[in-house]
Amino acid sequence: MNGGIQIKWDIMVNGELMVSIKTKEYHIQPSDSKDWIFIRSPKGLKVDVEVAVLDYLYTCQPKEIEVEGHRILCSRLCCYAGCYVSLEEIERIEVLIPEILPDLQKDSQNLLKYSENRVHNPDDYDEEEEVYKIRCAPQEWEYDDDKKPDQKDKTRNADEKKDKEEKEKESSVEFTLPPKNHCIFLMEDGLCAMHKYYNDIGQNWMKHKFNICTTFPLDLRVPDRTIAFMKDFDNFAFAEVECLSPDQELKKKLGYPQIVEAMRDVITDRFGDPFWKALNKVSKDFRADLIDIDHIYSDVDL
């Protein structure tokens, strides 16, 4: 026993003997590396969780900040480049554009008029994740309207990809603060037009808004049953923002909550309430030093 937590030997499926920790609220088992652990709720759902998520202060509360002498909303720094989303999400939102359009900024309206309401840049496709880039206004990259979001984009050859990366590199040095570009859905008041649309029609934005914008900075993969931080999440904003600061002491002084608590609704929406409760208890016990990750991995050959 360790602070009320029962440590027991557990036979894993592959027949190996390993340490696991079992309480009334959760069961923890080793994963593939010490940076991850499997957490199982008493209801049985088992999710692979990045250990860093258990102790990270974060919440999203858009606010006015001063950048280079300008008062701006911090969302202009994290929504300046749009986001990457699936074709399915694009198709879902494109049919709603006529209803959302009046809320968009004038330059976004102009851009959409030019692109005939095509919200993404068909030339910007992430082959690994199979996602497209949402456009930015006034205009972030040149786009080719002859291209359609089909297989043609996925088979772009290496030279084209290199050209694109070089162009992006060149354009990035021209960036100034505050950024000139913004996601086409970012409204004048610094809020998201898609979020507003779903609130206005009384639908749960958490289920319909672009997934990446809903779960940021977490990457919640329901089919894979994983919870982690998005890759390079702390570089997503155009300039330093408080909510993504590595200075956890500062955030503690400012009263930031733990990310597991702040993102309760979305984690619950994706993995269910029993799992969130198990995750939250693991996070609390981990921060109280009741869970020793090294001990859990003491019998695992990594």
By the rule CB under 6 A, 60 interacts with ligand SF4: yes
Specify the 3-state DSSP secondary structure of 116.
coil
> Toward ligand SF4, which CB reaches closer, 48 or 94?
94
User: Which one of residues 185, 197, 238, 275 is an interface residue with ligand SF4 (CB under 6 A)?
Assistant: 185
Q: Which amino acid is at 91?
A: E
Q: Which amino acid is at 161?
A: K
By CB under 6 A, name the one of 49, 104, 111, 192 that touches ligand SF4: 192
**Part of the chain binding ligand SF4 (CB under 6 A), chosen from 3-11, 158-166, 186-194, 273-281:** 186-194
Site for ligand SF4 in 79-108 (CB under 6 A): 79, 82-83
DSSP structure class, residue 138? T
Task: Choose one: 27-35, 69-77, 150-158, 267-275; the region binding ligand SF4 (CB under 6 A).
Answer: 69-77
Which residue from 93, 105, 79 is spatially nearest to 194, judged by alpha carbons? 93
Binding letters toward ligand SF4, positions 139-168, x by CB under 6 A = ------------------------------
Q: Which residues are paired to 70 by β-bridges?
A: 67
Q: Is 21 in the site for ligand SF4 (CB under 6 A)?
A: no
Choosing from 26, 210, 238, 256, the residue that interacts with ligand SF4 (CB under 6 A) is: 210
Helical residues (DSSP H) of the chain, grouped into ranges: 75-78, 87-94, 97-100, 106-114, 151-154, 158-173, 193-200, 205-208, 211-215, 248-253, 259-262, 264-271, 273-287, 293-296
Min dist. Cβ of residue 49 to ligand SF4 (A): 21
Q: 180-209 burial, b for 16+ CB within 10 Å, e for fewer?
A: ebbbbbbbeebbbbbbbbbeeeeeebbebb
Interface residue list for ligand SF4 (CB under 6 A):
60-62, 74-75, 77-79, 82-83, 183, 185-186, 192, 194, 210, 213, 237, 241, 243
